[in-house]
Each structure stands twice: as structure tokens, then as C-alpha cells.
A and B are shown apart, each in its own frame.
Chain A
Amino acid sequence: MTLAAILDASFAALTLLVATYAIFARGLFAAVVAFISYGLLLALVWVRLSAVDVALTEAAIGSGVTGALLIGAAARIGDADGARAGQPKAMTKIIAALLCVAVTAGIAAAVLSLPTPAPTLAPRAVRELPATGLGNPVTGVLLAYRAIDTLLESVVLVFALIGIWSFSRDGAWGGAPRSPDAGTSDSALTFLGQLLPPIAIIVGVHLVWTGADAPGGAFQGGTVLAAAWILVMIAGLRQPPRIDGGWLRFALVVGPALFLAIGLIGYGIAGAFLAYPEGFAKPLILLIEAALTLSIAVALGLLALGAPARRHQP
């Protein structure tokens, strides 16, 4: 057994162990912490599988943003003190367990019945890549071959946000979400909130820019920017924005809207929806990615803030 194989085996075992702990953990908070650790371990597994793009997304979205949302949810459920009241009955638990086992068995059966070698479009994707001017096949798939998937993904974020906003009370509609800062100003936190955002902006923009030729992209870069924004608000340096702000809503939809517009222009110039005109694929993709990054960053930040809670003052 080589050293790499031992490393991979221990990663796999540790991931399964932490996943099991996340399911069986007694406390809500312990389960959330285990889920975040699980996400980070999964990101390392993706790195070992040479899927750096997926690893970055897993670390940023799967572990980072989802973890932050879950911590917020856990804190609110804990406040309500109703976590125990909603305990499911034994029968419900058994049915849920049986369903989980069935899903696992189904996935296992599907994976085991895959033909070897597995059918793949990878050689074709890499062969056609020079036509797009991109160096990263993942970005090629996301924004050229399967652009419609990415377009729908970027729209989903806006819908998720509308779903959260619809939970606000009538009086608070158009107002600002509750501030995430704990109310106690802490000099260390303030310092971090002032020092880290410039670094985060450079890293975020770098991730988007490098996404054309290497692992990275709009989602990864957007998450870093959103994290910096949330940190600034947690440190109390900025207040959450009112959700009826014109610029805020423009930033929120500019990415999907531009994507859609360029897709529709493709009908006229290149003959198909989301087709890029000859020779313009790379600049157009970079333009879409830049706009998407802004929209994703704003959407993720607002998702983390939650529904507007403060009364709207016209």
C-alpha cells in the first residue's frame, strides 16, 4: 500500500465517520459543526480526485455558505426553545430510515452497474475547447456547452431570495434585515473586518478571472466576496441594506439578466439560444462571469441575512 493510498483511505474513513456523527449528534449545534467539518473533508476528497473546481465550490458553498445558514437556523430554533417539541415519532423515524436505506441502495446499485470504461464526453469537450478560447474545461462546460444549466442556477438564487423575503411581515417589507452583529463591538473583530475585505476582494476577483484558464469561477469568487461583506456586517462596520434599494436589486439581477440577454442575442447572430458569435466566446463569457459574480455575491449575502425585520421607513 502506497502512502497516497493510505492518505485516501483515511480521508474516506474520516469523511464517513464525520457524516455519521452529523446524523447522530445529540445537539443541534454539534450536528451543524460536524456538517461543516464534513464539507471541508469532502473538499479535500475532491482535491484528491483532481476535481479542484468542485473542491472550491464544496468548500465555499457546500461547507461555508450552507454552514453559515445552518448556524443561523440552529440559533433561531434554539431561541424558540421548541426543538424538543417537534421530535418525530418512532414510526416516522423508522420510515425515514427505510427511505434513506432505499436511496443509498439505489445509488449503490446505479454506481455498481456503470459500464467500464464509463461513458464520457470528456475527450470531446477538451477537443472543442480551443474554439471557445478558454483554458479550463470546467468553465467551458459551465458557460459554453451547458450554459443553460448555469443560467438556471443563477436564476434559482434570485428565486430563493424572493422565497426568504416573502417571510417578512407586511410592515417590514422593503425594510432591512436584522443586523448580524451581536451588539457588542469587539476591537479584534473590528480590526479583522477592516483588514480582511481588501484581501478578500483581491482573492475573489482573482478566482473569477483565473476561472477561464484554471480552477475558479463566478460562484467561488462570489462566495468569497459575500463572506467579506457578511464579515463587515458582523463586525458592525456596515448595516444590512434595505431590500427595496434600486442599486441592490439591480446588482441582484444584472448577472442572470445579462446572461439571458446575451443568450437571446445568440439567436440573431449565431443562430441559437446561448450560442456565442464566432471569436467572441471568451470576452462574452468573462463579461457574463463578472456580472454573475456581483449577483451571486449580493444574493448569498442577502440569503445569509434573512427576511427583512426592521420596519420600512419611507
Chain B
Amino acid sequence: MALATDIFSILCISAGVFFFFAGAVALLRFPDTLTRLHALTKADNLGLGLVVLGLLPQVDGVLPALKLCLVWIVTQLAGTTLSQLIARVAREKASKA
């Protein structure tokens, strides 16, 4: 049983790290602000979600698990709002230029 949950954790966290990596590559390689933001936010939200999902079987108790989920939700909220603000500034700059 412990082996099964460990394998599940390793698979999920590895997949999460892969998405983080993909997001970072997109940030470096994509041509303009909006496409970079688009790739980065989606990949990171999914990546962090997978990491949290992988960590869930490793914690004991419901409260730490809820805390992990809260971290994921709050990070998503903050990331979404920030990317919205950056995109707005980028669009305003583009329309001025």
C-alpha cells in the first residue's frame, strides 16, 4: 500500500515538475508578453496542482491536506490576478506604441 502511494506521489510530482519546466521554457522562448503569460499561468497552475496532488497521500491528517489545497487555490488566485494585471499593462503599452 505504501509502495503504491509512493509511486503515485512520484508520478504526480514528476508530472508537476515537467509542467513547471515547460512553463519556464515557454517564458524564455515564446515571442511576446501575452503568449508567455498564457503558457506560464496555465502550466504553473497545473504543475502546482499535480505537485499538491502528489503530496496529499504523504501527509497524515485532513488538516495538513486542506492546508496544501488552500496553498494551491490561493496561489492560483494570486497568479491569475497578477497575469491579468500584467496583460492589461502590456495591452495598454502596445496600443500606445
Q: State the A residues within 8 Å of B (CB).
A: 184, 186, 188-189, 191-192, 195-196, 199
With the chains together, A188 CA to B85 CA distance in Å?
8
18 contacts between A and B (CB under 8 A): A184-B88, A186-B84, A186-B85, A186-B88, A188-B80, A188-B81, A188-B84, A189-B81, A189-B84, A189-B85, A191-B81, A192-B77, A192-B81, A195-B77, A196-B77, A196-B78, A199-B70, A199-B74
Q: Interface residues of B toward A: which range? A: under 10
**Docked complex Cα distance between A199 and B77 (Å):** 12
- Residues of B close to A199: CB separation below 8 A: 70, 74
Closest Cβ of chain B: how far from A199's Cβ, in Å?
Answer: 7
7 interchain residue pairs of minimum CB distance:
A188-B84, A192-B81, A188-B81, A189-B81, A192-B77, A186-B85, A189-B85
Given contacts A196-B78, A199-B74, 8 further A-B contacts (CB under 8 A): A186-B85, A186-B88, A188-B84, A189-B84, A191-B81, A192-B81, A195-B77, A196-B74
| Chain B residues within an 8 Å CB radius of A184 | 88
Query: What are the residues of chain A within 8 A of B80 when measuring CB–CB?
Result: 188
Complex-state Cα separation, A61 to B70, whole angstroms:
22
Interface centre among B77, B78, B81, B85 (most CB of A within 10 A): B81
Smallest CB–CB gap between A197 and chain B, Å? 12
